[in-house]
Structures are given as structure tokens and as C-alpha cells.
Amino acid sequence: MPDAVAEVPAVASAPALSLRGLSKRFGSTVAVAGVDLDIPAGSFYGVVGPNGAGKTTTLSMATGLLTPDSGTVHVHGIDLWRHPAQAKPMLGVLPDGLHTFDRLTGAELISYAGLLRGMDPAVVRERRDDLLAALDLDASSRTLVTDFSAGMKKKIVLACALVHAPRVLVLDEPFEAVDPVSAGAIRRILAAFVETGGTVVMSSHVMALVERLCDRVAIVGRGRVLAHGTLDEVRGGMDLEERFVALVGDKAEHRDLEWLRQARE
Amino acid sequence: MLRTVLRLRLTTTWHQLQRDWWRVLFLLGGAVWSLSLVPAVLWAARILGYNDAQTKAEALAVVAGVLLLGWIIVPLLVTGLDDTLDPSRFASLGIEPGRLAPSLGVATLLTVPGLFFAFVLIGLATSWRTEHPKPWPLLAGIVGAILTWLAMVFAARIAAAWGARVLGSRRSREAALLVSLVVLAIAVPAVWVIVRDGLELVLEYDLRVLMRQLDVTPVGAGMSAPRHLVEGDAWGTVWRLGMMLAWVAVLARAWRATVAHALVNPVYRGGGARTRDDSILALAQRRGDARPHRAVRARLVRYWFSDPRYLSNLVGVIVMPIAVVALLVPVLGLDARWTFVAPVLLAATIGWGRHNDVAYDSTALWVDVTAGRLGTAVMRGRMEAVLVWAVPAVAVLAVAALAWTRAWWLAPALVGACVGVLGSTLGVSAITAVVFPYRAPAPGESPFGAEVGSVGASLIAQLMSSLATAAVLPLSVVPLVLALALDPRWGWVSAIVGTVSGIGVYLLGVRAGGVVYDRRSGSLVGLVA
């Protein structure tokens, strides 16, 4: 296996991740209905949308986990579904809601991810120890992942996504269940990654977090991209949450739960 | 409360049927099967009625014992079982156990199997109607049958509740070991006695003793109680029924305690004090290079010896062929050459047993899929991890069979057949595991459970892998049979054909499985999730 990062022919002008006409249907449900999105290299890109908008399905298709019904995915100009051996090494992936190999220890899971990508064992060792320290997982590196808390599992999977120094990180809800201290550490790692030219694509439900971290945003709803661009373009003078609710459509009725009101003394 | 629970049960069943139409077939099949047994039960009760009280009592006690065993074991082993009435599902509702436990208990009694077996037991008890003094034996029989039924259902519910907890916990390895030891402790003396005395004498004598014991324990006392009334010992009947009543009361208390415990103690899978060094990296460092298939193999070897789902598979696959041959050969007095079946059967069950290998990764296989185009490395690593324990297991059993029969001249034939069978079945499984994967228990789930909804897919996958296995097996097995039955010179044919076909099909299967893995990598996660 070649060392992934070095040998890939870089297409300098191409976006880090380019989705064209992606669609996916499960039975009679259309999960994703033609998503076009260009994610420029070096951007910190936020993907927001209500539950069931198709965020996870889109990110799965963009990372090789789910075959699209139609459409293409290019990573730095290379067709992911045609040339997975060249495209996948450029990606670091953190999926949401999937199991991990939880009978391995934290340290072993990182090593496994590195060795699987053909990295030199000595390099794996060095980076594994760096990642464990950076993500504050030192103390539990020898514990089985099955005994980890939800937040620790997120962190160890993030470490696996980072170990091969990818060019593009695709993270599905990376801050869910992570405590504020660890979240700070993750934010710093991601910010430094973007600063040096890396690309992060992140989905989230938390608008404040997206506004704070991302320079570009896409709002996804009912399987389509409803708005995309720089943070200010998308916000258009409102705050992101207002804009989001305006685009996605508020609930038709705000029913008042009168019976829930407590009697005042 | 009871009405709510019953309505919940009916509603969930109805919704399930709407979602998975094939469940209707199972339901109909079960109904037809149950109904078809009605005449048989009535007929059995009639036949029993012609027999004397002792025969009747012993037969009924044995029936009660077998049913009890079935009620306890089947829910633990059967896949895709409905757990709507699992007490821990009600935990978040904040209902007092004192109100919930009786409702759940009664709801279980009123399920289709519950009612059917009530009919079976009471139906069989009507065979006492021919006895004098009328009508007391019949009455005692029906009361005993009802008590036996209650005890059976409650015992089964308690066993299922605790069994599921243990199987789902990290202690399952220890629990499985304990159960295996108990089974061994019963099976070994039993086989030894059968070998020593012969099957007929055992049936005639030891089984009788066992049946007599059932009569004084809560297992069979309810069904055999009327016998003592018929024989003029009214007190014998009274105390047996009293004991049954007390036993049901104890079980009802235990059920209540179980519900109360389940409500406030969610299954805890922790206990993570165990720590390990990074053996995955250590292995790669010793070799000095990184080959992805070695990482996959190292991971799978860890799983084979630590994950309950793999462990139960490993133990089952090894114990089954050995047990079958070790029991059948002496009991049926077969020719010693039949012991050669054991290693070959072991190789076949190991190989065929891996037909759904990939699905045991569950959705965690995203790690392998996103790492690149690694299908061949993944399948190679997976299958080599099986070889790590399968080759020694088959080899030990083959040597044992040769040593037992002292037919060392048949060694080439047997080795050839074993290599052929193991290699070709694993090769077939490497392909079916990626072509027909179906949902397996997820990490941390009970190793015996299959997720609701996978029965249809699993039937197709098992059928296809069985057909493919049946197609490749004769190549390795026929020469061995000829060597055993006709002429030892066939042994050399077996050695060559078996080795070549085994290694060939294995390598081809792994390669083809890897190619299919890459091609289907975008649908695998969805298929096993």
C-alpha cells in the first residue's frame, strides 16, 4: 500500500469535495433528492438541517459507505466511486450512530485504523500516542472501547479518522455527547487543521456551534440543499437559527400546553 | 393494567404483521401446527386412559418434565423472539412492580403458546377420568395440570428474564462456561452408563428411577398426583398438590421480585477494569511492515477469543460434531471407522458456519470500508483468523480418530478429506458472506438472538450456502469414503484431491469474496445494520 497522502495526484484547482446530483431512495422514501455541493479546499464547512433531512445519507454517500442511486462524488478531483483506492485515503471519516470494533482497546483501534491504511508501524505508534494525549484519552488507552462513554467513543473514532493525516475530514455530529473540555480540544485540533490547508465538513444540530466554527454553511432539508455559501451569505443579516427556521419552515401550529402550567401560589 | 398490557401486546403484534408480511406465514404455520396437534393430544389422552395408573402417572410426569425443559430453553435459543413483555421495557413508565408483575404474568399465560400448552396439559390430565373413585382422580388431575402449567410458564419467564440479562452482559463467557460444565457433568456420566450397561438396560432401569423422582418433585408431581388417590393413598395426592401450590406461589413471588429488579436495574455491561497492551500494533512492529490483512486477522483473532457472539459460535461448532459422533458411535454400536466422520464433520461445520462472517462486524465494518479498497485483505484476514483455531481443532480431532481406530494407514485419506472440506467450505463462505449477508446479533447483544426482520434473508442465505457447500463437498469426501469402504489405495487419491481442491477453493473463494466486497462496499453497512 502506498503512503496515501504523498502519492495521490493532486488536482490543485478542484474543490476538496464535490457532490453532483447525488440521490438516494429507500423503498418509497426519497432520502436525498439531487444534492449538488462544492466544498472548497481549506474551508470549515457546516451542514445543518432538521432531523430526517438527509444529512447522514448524503455524508455516507460522500464517504463510500452508501452507494448513491445516481450522482457523483469527487475528492480533490478524483471520482470516489470509480477510484476508491485513490480517493478514500484522502478522507477521514467519523460516521454517526454506527458501531466500532469495541473489543479492541482505544490504542488498538487507532493502530488498527493506521495499519489498515498501510502506514508504517513506527509512524502509527508515534501518531497513536500523540492522538491519545491530544484527545485526553491517555488514561483509558488500555481499556476496551466497549467500556467507553459515548463522548469517549466519539473522540476515539475521531482519532481513527485523523491517524492517516487525511486532506478532508467528514464528521457527522462530532460534538454530540462530548463534554466541554474535550470539545475545546477537538475545536482546536480542527481549527489548526483548517488553518494549514485541510478541509472539514461537519454536520450538526447546534447552530451556535456551526456559527462559531464554520466559514461556510449549507442548509439541507427534505433531501435538497436549500441554501449554501459563506456564513454571512447564508445568514443574510439574520442569525443562522432564524434563517434555518425560515428556510426549513416552522411548525404549522404552536399549540399551548395549558395543562402543563403550574399553579402559582 | 392487565387490559392495557394485553392491548399493547395485540397492537405491537398487529403492527409487526403489517411491517413484515412473512410473519403471517409463521403465525399461520404455528396455528396449523398447534391445531394439528389437538387430535393427537386427545388421542394420547384416550390411549393413556386404557393404561394402569402407574404407567399413566410416569408418562405424564415425563411429558411435564420435557415441556418444562422446552419452555425454559427455547426462548433463550430461538432467534428473533418478541420481547414486548420484557419487564425492563416498562422501566421508564414508573409503574409499581406490584401492579406490573401480575399483569405481565397473566399476559404471558394468555399468549398462543401459553393457551395451547394449557390445553395440552389439561387434555392429557383427562385420561384420569377412567379411574375410580370417581370423580376425584379426574378433578385432582385437572387441578394438578393447571398448577403444572402455571409453574411451567412462570419458571420459563423467570429463566428468560435472567438468561437474557446474563447473555447480554459481560459475564456471558463465564456463564457459558458454567452451563457447559453442568451439561458435561450430566452428559459424561450418562454416556458412560450407556456405554457400560447398553441402551436397553438404561432405558429399563435408570430412566425408571428418574421417572420415579419426577413424581416427588414439582416438575412432575402435579401430573402424577392422582395416581396415589387411585392406589388408595389420598394423602399422597393431597401433599403433592399442596407442594405444587406452594411452588407456584414461590415462583409468583420470584417473578414479582424479578420484575421489581428489572425495573430498577438496567442491564449493565460495564466492569471494564480489564486493560490490555496494544497487541495489534505490537504484531505489526514485530513483522516490521504493515499489511492490512494482518491487522484484520489480529482483530478477528481477538474477537474469536473475547466476544461472546464469536465464542458461542466457536464452542458450538466444535462441540456439536464431537458430541454427535461420541454419542452415536457407542450408543448405536457402529463400526469404529465411523469416528472418521467427526473431524470431517467438524471441518464442514466450521466452514459452513462462517457463511455470514462479515455481518458479525455489524455496522463497525465502516472502519474497513472507508480505509480504502481493501476487500481482498479484509476477506483474507477474516478467513485466516478462522484458520488460526480451526486447523488445530480439526488436526487434534483427526489424530484422535486415527489413534482411536489405530488405522494409521488411513492418515493421508483423512488429512486430505479434512483439508479439502475445511478449505472448500471456508472458500464458499468467503463468497456467501459478502453476497448474502444478513443481520447478525450486534456487538453486546445476546449471541443467540437475531434481530427481528432477518429471518427471511437468513433463510435464503443459509439455503444458498448449503447448496454451494453441498456442491463442493463430494470432491473431498467421496475418495475418503471409498478408502474406508473399498480399498485403502483410494486414500492417496483423497490426499491429493482433497489438498488441491481445499486450498484451491479457499484461495479462489477469498479472492472472489474480496472482489465482491469491494464491489458491494456501498451496500454492506445497510445490509447488516
DSSP structure string for B37-66: HHHHHHHHHHHHHHS-HHHHHHHHHHHHHH
Using DSSP's 3-state secondary structure scheme, residue B340 falls into: helix
Cα separations (Å) of A49 from A205, B61, B191, B289, B476? 7, 64, 66, 44, 58
Please determine, for residue B129, whether its predicted confidence score (pLDDT) is greater than 90: no
pLDDT at B509: 96
Show the CA angle centred on residue B319, arms to residues B314 and B325, nearest 5°.
145
Boundary residue ending a domain (B217, B242, B264): B264
Helix (H, G, I), strand (E, B) or coil at A224: strand
Work out the percent of chain B whose per-residue pLDDT is above 90: 35
For residue B459, report the phi and psi dihedrals to the nearest 5 degrees. -65, -45
Q: What is the CATH number of domain A4-251?
A: 3.40.50.300
DSSP one-letter string for B402-447: HHHHT-GGGHHHHHHHHHHHHHHHHHHHHHHHHHS----PPTTS-T
- Return d(Cα A84, Cα A93) in angstroms, integer: 14
Domain count, chain B: 2
The answer to whether B349 and B341 are in contact (CB under 8 A) is no
The number of angstroms, rounded, from the C-alpha of B318 to the middle of its chain's C-alpha atoms is 14
Identify whether the C-beta of residue B297 lies closer than 8 Å to the C-beta of residue B388: yes
C-alpha cell at A87: 480517493
Which of A158-172, A246-260, B437-451 is the most confident on average?
Answer: A158-172
The pLDDT confidence band at residue B379, using thresholds 50, 70 and 90, is very high
Q: Which residue of B has its CA nearest to A95?
A: B366
Q: Do B285 and A88 touch (CB under 8 A)?
A: no
**Is A124 within 8 Å of B290 when comparing Cβ atoms?**
yes
The per-residue pLDDT for A12 is 65
Reading the block at residue B262, the C-alpha cell is 428489572
CA distance linking residue A155 with residue A152, whole number of Å: 5
Nearest CA in chain B to A139: B275
∠ CA B275-B278-B279, rounded to 5°: 110
B220 in any annotated domain = yes
Please write the tens of the pLDDT for every residue from A47-57: 999 888 899 99
Interface test mutation site (partner A, options B267, B274, B278, max chain A beta carbons within 10 A): B278
- For chain A, say whether B306 makes contact (Cβ under 8 Å): yes
User: What cell was used for B502?
Assistant: 481445499
- Choose, out of A69, A112, A130, the residue to mutate when testing the contact with B (most B CBs < 10 Å): A112
Entry pTM: 0.81
Q: Are B75 and B190 members of one domain?
A: yes
How many beta carbons lie within 10 A of that of residue B435, not counting itself? 17
Contact B229, B136 (CB under 8 A): yes
Which amino acid is residue B144, in one-letter code?
G
Which residues 396-455 of B have a C-beta within 8 angstroms of A? 442-444
Please check the confidence at residue B262 and state whether its pLDDT lies above 70: yes
What tens digit of pLDDT does each residue of B420-479 get? 999 999 999 999 999 999 888 888 776 665 554 556 677 788 888 889 888 888 888 899
Tens digits of per-residue pLDDT, A198-223? 999 999 988 899 999 999 999 999 89
Asked whether residue B273 is domain-assigned, the answer is no
Closest partner residue to B370 among A64, A115, A147, by Cβ?
A64
Residues of A in contact with B279 (CB under 8 A): 108
User: Which domain range does residue B345 map to?
Assistant: 300-528
Those residues with Cβ within 8 angstroms of residue B401's Cβ, 6 or more apart along the chain or in another chain: B339, B340, B342, B343, B414
Residue B173 has pLDDT above 90, yes or no: no
CA distances from B519 to A65, A70, B207, B510 (A): 12, 16, 58, 14
Full strand arrangement of the beta sheet holding A70-75: A29-39, A17-26, A70-75, A78-79
**CB-facing half-sphere around the CA of A114: CA atoms within 13 A:** 30
CB-based contact B49:B129 (threshold 8 Å): yes
State whether B207 and B321 are in the same domain.
no
Q: What is the mean pLDDT of residues B484-508?
A: 92
Whether residue B9 is contained in a domain is answered as no
Considering the domain architecture, whether residues B212 and B138 belong to the same structural domain is answered as yes
B169 or B127, higher pLDDT: B127
Mean pLDDT of chain B: 85
Contact in structure between A4 and A90 (CB atoms under 8 Å): yes
Among A154, A77, A140, A90, CA closest to A117? A90
Each residue of B42-57: pLDDT tens digit?
898 888 888 888 888 8
C-alpha cell at B52: 394402569
Report DSSP state, residue B358. Answer: G
What is the distance, to the nearest Å, from the Cα of residue B35 to the centroid of all Cα atoms in its chain? 26
Q: How far apart are CA B372 and CA A88, in angstroms?
A: 5
Asked if B138 and B128 count as a contact pair (C-beta separation under 8 A), the reply is yes
For chain B, what percent of residues have pLDDT higher than 70? 92
**Residue B245: pLDDT band by 50, 70, 90 thresholds?**
very high
Bigger pLDDT: A86 or B98?
A86
- Which residues share a beta bridge with A33? A23
A124 with B523: Cβ contact below 8 A: no
Residues 508-527 of B with CB under 8 A from A: 518, 521-523, 525-526
Residues B349 and B476 in one domain: yes
Average confidence (pLDDT) over A226-247: 91
Q: Is B285 on the interface with A (CB under 8 A)?
A: yes
In terms of domains, do B179 and B314 share one? no
- On whether residue B218 sits in a domain, the answer given is yes
Q: How many CB pairs under 8 A join A and B?
A: 151
Q: Which residue of B21, B296, B361, B367 to mutate against A (max A Cβ within 10 Å)? A: B367
Average pLDDT score over residue span A183-188: 92
Structure confidence at residue B168 (pLDDT) = 63
Are B281 and A160 a contacting pair at CB < 8 A?
A: no
Q: How distant is the Cα of B482 from the closest Cα of chain A, in angstroms?
A: 46
Higher-pLDDT residue of A124 and B405 is A124
Return the closest-CA partner of residue A75 out of A175, A5, A163. A5
Nearest Cα of chain B lies from the Cα of A254 at a distance, in angstroms, of 27
Of the partner residues B277, B290, B529, the one whose CB lies closest to the CB of residue A121 = B290
For A2-20, letters b (16+ CB in 10 Å) and e give eebeeebeeeeebbbbbbe
Cβ contact A91–B370 (<8 Å) = yes
Q: What is the mean pLDDT of residues A184-192?
A: 93
> B220, B242, B264 — which closes off a domain?
B264
Last residue of a domain, one of B244, B264, B284: B264
pLDDT-derived band at B17 (thresholds 50, 70, 90) equals: confident
